Amino acid sequence: MSGSAVASASVLPARRGSGINPQAALAAGAGIVAGAGLIGSVVHPRQALLYALGAAMGLVLYHAAFGFTSAWRVFISDRRGEGLRAQMVMLALASILFFPVLASGSLFGQPVSGLVSPAGVSVVFGAFIFGIGMQLGGGCASGTLYTVGGGSTRMLITLAAFVAGSTVGAAHLHWWTALPSLPRISVVALWGPWTALSVQLAVFAAIAAVTVTLERRRHGRLLASGEPPRRGLARFLRGPWPLVAGAVALALLNFATLALAGRPWGITSAFALWGSKVAAGLGFDVASWPYWSSPAQQAALQGSILSDVTSVMDIGIVLGALLAAALAGRFAPVWRIPLRSAVAAVVGGLLLGYGARLAYGCNIGAYFSGIASGSLHGWVWLVAAFVGNVLGTRLRPLFGLEVERTPALTGC
């Protein structure tokens, strides 16, 4: 087996099993149910619902193989744009749901706010190196979590480096935020929800149209979906799902996150928290970092990760993906990882973590939730990260990593 084939297999097991993996399914189901019960009793029932919501996201991400990294890579390498078009559907639906609610400031009587951050040097550089890290590490933030849950041993390396990079980024963030930057700009506040929504929908449509034009110019037609191996309830429970179904489900689940948490879905702030707790345990004076200076941040640093919304949702994503992989009969960890692939996982993970902190988020917090919140920094992130992905895609062969020409059943 070639090095690239091994690297690809270690990211997400590609075989389709004939049955369910019962032990993995039982472990995942027990973890989801017991975890929800524990969190509901020691924190709050709402926190338990967010944990379950994370599990639902993990299942959706796995069954739809909804990856940002692979979708961008196959478009860059071969102009196949199905994955990008699915992302535009997800962003469009999320914007339709978010904008009126964010303009009103409340949802079901609870105050809500979007993820709106400044757009400056730190965002441009952070998103750019995050884009490189996506291709070397083998996944984005959501892709890393759900492929770990799906049985990827290589992505455990990426995740560990991701946490380390995010921790260092938290320590350095005050220096980066002192560089030139625009203020927080929300197009919802600037233009009003309906004008802003019209503009965003037009941009989404334009991006989708460009992918259609370029794909047809390269291949003569759009890629046709193959015959699904399952139908009906079996397909719903065991996958695979159509990409568009995943896009719609993720938009709805992000809106549910807004309703329950009062803000949209994010992933990587938890990595900075986990790494900082480890660093504090090793004797570093983490509490003195400006990143942890606010009362809310100090409380998070000193408290249990079960009290942190992002942490419990991240854990839920991993268990939800494990359940999905087990139901699909595809939970089969591959332990053989080529050295060059492992090195790429470490380098990519460090870039992902550091870049996410500098850019105020990842493909979820900055790109998906940022754009759905009407934040200018989300659009800046998209452009800078895409350029980083172009470079990262070109670097992959140096590490024995595949650059596929058609979408694969993987988020990586």
- Residue predicted with more confidence, 373 or 333: 373
226 inside domain: no
Number of domain units in the chain: 1
Give residue 234's pLDDT: 72
Helix segments in 105-186, DSSP class H: 121-137, 141-149, 154-177
270 burial level (CB within 10 Å; 0-12, 13-18, 19+): buried
Most confident range (mean pLDDT) of 18-22, 141-145, 268-272, 333-337 is: 268-272
Give residue 404's pLDDT: 81
Going by pLDDT thresholds of 50, 70 and 90, the confidence category of residue 409 is low
Percent of the chain with pLDDT over 90: 81
246 inside domain: yes
**In angstroms, rounded to a whole number, what is the distance separating the alpha carbons of residues 342 and 140?**
16
Cβ contacts of 100 within 8 Å, gap of 6 or more: 193
φ, ψ of residue 375 in degrees (nearest 5): -85, 130
172 inside domain: yes
196 inside domain: yes
Q: How far is CA 111 from the centre of its chain?
A: 25
Cβ contacts of 256 within 8 Å, gap of 6 or more: 53
Domain of 13 in residue numbering reads as 3-221+234-399
**In angstroms, rounded to a whole number, what is the distance separating the alpha carbons of residues 362 and 23?**
33
257 inside domain: yes
Is the per-residue pLDDT at 12 higher than 90? no
At 73-91, the pLDDT tens digits run 999 999 999 999 999 999 9
DSSP 364: I
**In angstroms, rounded to a whole number, what is the distance separating the alpha carbons of residues 314 and 50?**
10
Give residue 247's pLDDT: 97
**In angstroms, rounded to a whole number, what is the distance separating the alpha carbons of residues 91 and 367?**
9
Percent of the chain with pLDDT over 70: 94
Q: How far is CA 271 from the centre of its chain?
A: 12
Is the per-residue pLDDT at 219 higher than 50? yes
Both structure tokens of 359: 């850019």
Cβ contacts of 299 within 8 Å, gap of 6 or more: none
* Beta bridge partner(s), residue 184: 118
Is the per-residue pLDDT at 7 higher than 70? no
Give residue 239's pLDDT: 74
φ, ψ of residue 399 in degrees (nearest 5): -105, 15
What average pLDDT does this structure show over 252-271?
97
What average pLDDT does this structure show over 305-320?
97
**Contact between 139 and 327 (Cβ < 8 Å):** no
410 inside domain: no
Give residue 232's pLDDT: 75
Q: What is the mean pLDDT of the chain?
A: 91
**Contact between 183 and 57 (Cβ < 8 Å):** no
pTM for the full predicted model:
0.92
411 inside domain: no
At 166-192, the pLDDT tens digits run 999 999 999 999 999 999 999 999 999
Instruction: State how far the alpha carbon of 109 is from the alpha carbons of 53, 90, 101, in Å.
Output: 20, 26, 11
At 368-387, the pLDDT tens digits run 999 999 999 999 999 999 99
412 inside domain: no
- Residue predicted with more confidence, 366 or 5: 366
Give residue 92's pLDDT: 98
Going by pLDDT thresholds of 50, 70 and 90, the confidence category of residue 408 is low
The count of residues in the chain is: 412
φ, ψ of residue 356 in degrees (nearest 5): -65, -40
Is the per-residue pLDDT at 402 higher than 70? yes
Sign of CA dihedral 230, 233, 235, 239: negative
